[in-house]
Amino acid sequence: MSYTVVGIRFKPAGKIYYFDPGELKLSLNDGVIVETSRGIEYGIVVIEPRQVPEEEVVGALKMVLRLAGEDDLEQLRANREKEIKAMEICLAKIADHGLPMKLVDVEQTFDGNKIIFYFTADGRIDFRELVKDLAAVFRTRIELRQIGVRDEAKMMGGLGCCGRELCCATWLADFATVSIRMAKEQNLSLNPTKISGICGRLMCCLKFENEVYEQAKEGYPEIGRRVTTPDGEGKVSSINIFKQTVNVELRESKLIKEYPCSIIELESVEGDHGESPNVKNEGAGGQGSRAVIRNQKHEKCCRGARNRKCKAPAATNSDV
């Protein structure tokens, strides 16, 4: 069974929700009035009507009531003006009560039945008296919602260290878990000031770019792998997927030199390909002999691509 749905977004870079378009003819970027669990809301069409399977629909589909008209747009502008005034009043009330909280944003529902105040704080805040004061002023339902620092950055917006607008404020709908391991995989400095966003948490790009690095590294030898270079044998100390090079610490000189991936040969591990390594007996002044295992088989870098050149992806704008 399938449903006809339309994708609607209520905030820039917000989540997309499915609604039933009914008999309405909707196009991309159309303003619509819809029924939500919070009441009547204004949204933008970001996915045109289409058929989706039943498993993609979560819960009962609510209806798109109508296309937004001039009266609806005027109501939207009036709500934005009220939100600015509500912000000023709430800031004054917070100062009067001496509450240790930072007001981030104010949102009034389209039908004016509720005003939501978003704030951050280090711990739990007893704002019951503040809610009473705000309800007395606005004569409507009041909700104070505590958010995290990542949500604050998403609402406020800004520029990242790359010089571009924040991903979370422009296109990233959900926050994924980011770990320090991802920074290590990408050979980044582990200095917190260099891998943290303006929210103070690890940058979101570490997560969504990590898959590209993992795929690219599949064609390179592991760190510590024994290899043969034009200057002799050594072991891999680091790799650079953008320059398509490998840094090797040479066995004899202990120098670290950079080589193109295509000229590096991997020393095969004993027993590779089911062949026996060459064994040579060396005596030492009649004191017996010892077996020295020497495997002369090699395979070309990249790993798993014998006798072919490395194929690493070129850098993209998101990697700069």
- Res 320 pLDDT > 80: no
Instruction: Specify the higher pLDDT residue, 111 or 310.
Output: 111
**Average of per-residue pLDDT values in the chain:** 80
What is the tens place of the pLDDT at every residue in 142-183? Answer: 999 999 999 999 888 899 888 899 988 888 888 888 989 898
Domains in the chain, ordered, with CATH? 2-68 (no CATH), 74-147 (3.30.300), 151-214 (no CATH), 226-300 (no CATH)
- Res 289 pLDDT > 70: no
The H or E element that residue 95 is part of is helix 70-97
pLDDT of residue 258: 87
| One-letter amino acid for residue 170 of the chain | T
Smallest Cα–Cα separation from 41: which of 11, 6, 4? 11
Smallest Cα–Cα separation from 8: which of 71, 67, 88, 83? 67
Beta-bridge partner residues of 222: none
Global pTM reads 0.68
- Res 310 pLDDT > 50: no
What percentage of the chain exceeds 70 in pLDDT? 83
pLDDT of residue 42: 93
Region 177-190: what's the mean pLDDT?
86
What is the tens place of the pLDDT at every residue in 193-225? Answer: 889 998 889 998 899 888 888 888 877 888 888
Task: Using pLDDT thresholds of 50, 70 and 90, give the confidence band for residue 31.
Answer: very high
Q: Per residue, what are the HEC states of 127-139?
A: CHHHHHHHHHHHC
First to last CA, the chain: 45
pLDDT of residue 304: 40
What is the tens place of the pLDDT at every residue in 118-130? Answer: 999 988 888 989 9
Task: Using pLDDT thresholds of 50, 70 and 90, give the confidence band for residue 305.
Answer: very low
pLDDT of residue 269: 57
Cα–Cα distance measured from residue 93 to residue 87, given in angstroms and rounded to the nearest whole number: 10
Burial code (b: 16+ CB inside 10 Å, e: under 16) for 281-299 equals eeeeeeeeeeeeeebeeeb
Instruction: Specify the higher pLDDT residue, 275 or 135.
Output: 135
pLDDT of residue 115: 92
pLDDT of residue 261: 80
Among 62-76, 208-222, 263-277, name the one with the lowest average pLDDT.
Answer: 263-277
pLDDT of residue 268: 67
pLDDT of residue 57: 80
What is the tens place of the pLDDT at every residue in 230-247? Answer: 888 888 888 888 888 888
Task: Using pLDDT thresholds of 50, 70 and 90, give the confidence band for residue 4.
Answer: confident
pLDDT of residue 270: 53
